[in-house]
């Protein structure tokens, strides 16, 4: 095969008239449209707003709480979501590059009384420019873009196809990539953050006879080369469910990340981490405290109070930070959490509050806690060594301070004795000098 023929086969160059293969048939249920670049195959599916996708009503995605909108993106409003394009594509390969086509594109939009999913299928690589033009016309009427991993996959792939066809891409809209909130909120609770796992674990959706992704390119090639159109029906259904799942996941997020979600400690901690990453520090601190209250003994509450104390420490409120760790030490039933609280209190006292005596007291209490819990001490050798080192350093500091006081007091007493004391004067006591603990 000559280079020109290979480039034409890849869609980089147009094919010569004599080498053009007959177009594949229009899939059943699809309409044939036209624009200035040629023919476009598309179909529409309408779902009522009370349609249940798993256990979620998709219409709830059109009425989001302001708390969730602020978390999803700065400046987003309910109008952005009501006018959003929910986008998902199917490609001839997962590696990307100039030889990979987006042959099926699904776009979901909220209409007046329904959720419409419009699907564009590429009946022939020669019609790619027409399909991309039709896609731009659809997206340009929208107010935002919602995808799942679209920043990494869908949009770069489409940008490549627009560039190869020398077409301007769609309007630059606010983009909500749902993979990021999925990881923030559920990365520790789900086996993975793939859309299929979210459907099973959160939306309560069980797909029947769904295609594995690796089969999809082969079914499309069979359609283009041999006209086997029936094999695409499962692909169309797969893409349709993907688009509807985007809207359903947004609706689900409204229940767990909108106002007063009432989640458990795990949910409150996840929301707080998300808020912190968005710079919503006041709300993050409130949610960290909520997670801390709901889990007084476990790892979730321990992480929550640690993150809360860090935010307070950034503000420079050392006394409040001390109060947090003091409360944590008193109310937790976890030896590890109580130990960490005492260590943090010792650090605060020494380095921020400049109270070496209190730092020594907290350090000794931490060492005593390990002494009465040898099973914990055996698992924390580095902590034990660090506490022993801190104890020796603090004792040396106190000994040096008391020695200095003794020398200053002694010199003052000698100087006073050289003068002529009046009757009744007494030499002040120098006090007892503490010896360092061996």
Q: Is residue 174 part of a domain?
A: yes
Q: Which of 207, 241, 257 is the last residue of a domain?
A: 257
Contact between residue 358 and residue 385 where contact means Cβ atoms under 8 Å apart? no
Contact between residue 59 and residue 50 where contact means Cβ atoms under 8 Å apart? yes
Q: Is residue 41 part of a domain?
A: yes
253 and 277 belong to one structural domain: no
Q: Which of 232, 257, 282 is the last residue of a domain?
A: 257
39 and 145 belong to one structural domain: yes
273 and 374 belong to one structural domain: yes
Residues forming a β-bridge with 44: 118
Tokens 């409040």 sit at which residue?
320
Contact between residue 115 and residue 51 where contact means Cβ atoms under 8 Å apart? yes
Both tokens of 402, joined, read 């008391």
186 and 40 belong to one structural domain: yes
143 and 232 belong to one structural domain: yes
**For residues 171-197, b (16+ Cβ closer than 10 Å) or e, as one string?**
eebbebbbbbbbebbbeeebeebebee
Q: Is residue 428 part of a domain?
A: no
342 and 222 belong to one structural domain: no
Query: Which stretches in the chain have pLDDT values below 50?
Result: 1-4, 6-7, 13, 16-19, 414-438
pLDDT at 226: 87
* C-alpha distances out from residue 34 to 40, 42, 127, 352, 373, Å: 6, 10, 10, 72, 77
Q: Is residue 438 part of a domain?
A: no
pLDDT at 9: 52
CATH code: domain of residue 345: 1.25.40.10
49 and 148 belong to one structural domain: yes
Residue 293's domain spans which residues? 265-395
Residues constituting the chain: 438
Both tokens of 245, joined, read 């799942």
Q: Is residue 110 part of a domain?
A: yes
pLDDT at 85: 98
How many other β-carbons are positioned within 10 Å of the β-carbon of residue 44?
13
Both tokens of 138, joined, read 């659809």
225 and 270 belong to one structural domain: no
190 and 68 belong to one structural domain: yes
For 121, phi and psi rounded to 5 degrees? -120, 140
pLDDT in tens, 232-280: 999 999 999 999 999 999 999 998 888 655 568 999 999 999 999 989 9
Sheet-wide strand order for 175-177: 31-35, 38-48, 114-121, 102-110, 84-91, 144-147, 175-177
CATH code: domain of residue 104: 3.30.420.10
Q: Is residue 437 part of a domain?
A: no
* C-alpha distances out from residue 346 to 163, 342, 388, 398, Å: 61, 6, 13, 14
111 and 240 belong to one structural domain: yes
pLDDT at 27: 92
Q: Which of 257, 292, 312 is the last residue of a domain?
A: 257
271 and 211 belong to one structural domain: no
332 and 362 belong to one structural domain: yes
DSSP H or E run through 39: strand 38-48
pLDDT at 214: 87
pLDDT at 354: 93
Q: Is residue 413 part of a domain?
A: no
pLDDT at 419: 42
Please name which of 316, 395, 314, 383 lies closest in space to residue 343, comparing C-alpha atoms: 383
pLDDT in tens, 272-330: 999 999 899 999 999 999 999 999 999 999 999 999 999 999 999 999 999 999 999 99
* C-alpha distances out from residue 215 to 39, 49, 57, 219, Å: 27, 32, 30, 7
pLDDT at 212: 87
Tokens 């891409």 sit at which residue?
169
**Backbone CA torsion sign across 185, 190, 196, 198:** negative
Q: Is residue 405 part of a domain?
A: no
DSSP H or E run through 60: none
């Amino acid at each position: 095969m000559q280079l020109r023929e290979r480039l034409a086969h890849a869609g980089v160059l147009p094919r010569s008239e004599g080498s053009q293969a007959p177009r594949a048939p229009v899939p059943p249920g699809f309409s044939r449209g036209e624009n200035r670049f040629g023919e476009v195959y598309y179909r529409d599916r309408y779902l009522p707003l009370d349609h249940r996708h798993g256990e979620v009503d998709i219409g709830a995605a059109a009425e989001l709480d302001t708390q969730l909108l602020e978390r999803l993106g700065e400046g987003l409003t309910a109008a952005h979501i009501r006018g959003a394009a929910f986008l998902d594509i199917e490609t001839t390969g997962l590696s990307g590059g100039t030889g990979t086509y987006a042959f099926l594109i699904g776009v979901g939009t909220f209409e007046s009384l329904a959720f419409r999913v419009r699907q564009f299928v590429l009946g022939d690589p020669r019609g790619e420019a027409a399909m991309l033009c039709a896609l731009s016309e659809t997206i340009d009427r929208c107010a935002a873009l919602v995808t799942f991993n679209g920043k990494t996959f869908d949009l770069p792939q489409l940008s490549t196809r627009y560039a190869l066809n020398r077409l301007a891409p769609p309007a630059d809209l606010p983009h909500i990539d749902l993979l990021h909130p999925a990881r923030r909120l559920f990365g520790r609770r789900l086996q993975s953050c793939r859309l299929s796992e979210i459907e099973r674990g959160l939306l309560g959706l069980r797909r029947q006879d769904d295609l594995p992704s690796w089969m999809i390119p082969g079914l499309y090639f069979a359609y283009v080369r041999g006209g086997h159109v029936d094999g695409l029906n499962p692909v169309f259904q797969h893409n349709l469910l993907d688009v509807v799942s985007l809207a359903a996941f947004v609706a689900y997020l409204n229940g767990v990340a909108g106002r007063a979600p009432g989640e458990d400690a795990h949910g409150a901690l996840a929301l707080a981490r998300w808020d912190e990453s968005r710079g919503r520090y006041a709300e993050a601190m409130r949610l960290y405290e909520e997670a801390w209250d709901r889990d007084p003994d476990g790892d979730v509450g321990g992480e929550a109070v640690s993150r809360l104390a860090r935010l307070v420490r950034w503000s420079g409120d050392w006394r409040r930070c001390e109060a947090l760790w003091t409360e944590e030490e008193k109310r937790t039933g976890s030896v590890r959490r109580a130990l960490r609280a005492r260590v943090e209190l010792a650090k605060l006292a020494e380095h921020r509050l400049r109270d070496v005596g209190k730092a020594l007291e907290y350090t000794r209490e931490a060492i005593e806690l390990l002494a009465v819990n040898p099973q914990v001490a055996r698992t924390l050798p580095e902590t034990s060594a660090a506490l022993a080192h801190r104890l020796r350093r603090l004792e040396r500091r106190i000994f040096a301070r008391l020695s200095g006081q003794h020398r200053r007091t002694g010199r003052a007493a000698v100087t006073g004795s050289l003068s002529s004391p009046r009757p009744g004067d007494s030499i002040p006591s120098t006090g007892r000098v503490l010896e360092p603990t061996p």
